[in-house]
Amino acid sequence: MTNCQTHASYRLIFLFAAALALIATIVPAGAVERLQDQPVTSGRAFSVVRDAGKIEVDLAELSTLPRYRLLTDSPWEEGRQEFEGVLLRDVLDMLKMSDASAVIIHAVDNYSQRIPREDWQDYPTLLALRADGAFLGRREQGPTRLVYPVLDHPELDNPVHKNRWVWLIETVERVD
């Protein structure tokens, strides 16, 4: 093999490796992607209604759960939104509520929605903590909001599920 052929072979190997690395980093639009780093934040996320009263859930507690990124269309904002947060199923598991037939999520403005178990079992329903990289403050309808993956699951793009996008979450209540 000549010196020129050797360089051409190395160049092909390099280009092939670079192409593989690029393909490995591409995530399909709308796909739920697990994140490795954990956000560092604290403050009240919401309350859980129990028989004995209310229990406060802190954002730091939620930050201990696996975190995910979701790119999806929002029925309430223009264009695609990138949300980061924790799966509702993981939150309800942490709260020992994942076996409930449903939960009712109440917002600060007294809006509430009944979320059936199928929504968190069958779909990667996200309890968002960030939107487009920034933590959700009250002005951004946070600190937590419920988000559905409508790009990955077009069957969720309907009036029933659109109404289940609850923001400014105040309390979560178990329904048996």
* Span 131-140, pLDDT tens digits: 888 787 777 7
* Span 98-118, pLDDT tens digits: 999 999 999 999 999 999 999
Percent of the chain with pLDDT over 70: 77
Domains of the chain: 29-175 (3.90.420.10)
What is the mean predicted confidence (pLDDT) over 66-92?
Answer: 89
DSSP class of 98: T
What is the mean predicted confidence (pLDDT) over 40-66?
Answer: 87
pLDDT band at 2 (very low <50, low <70, confident <90, very high): low
Other CB atoms within 10 Å distance of the CB of residue 145: 24
* Cα distance from N-terminal residue to C-terminal residue, the chain: 74
What's the pLDDT at 31? 64
- Across all residues in the chain, what is the average pLDDT? 82
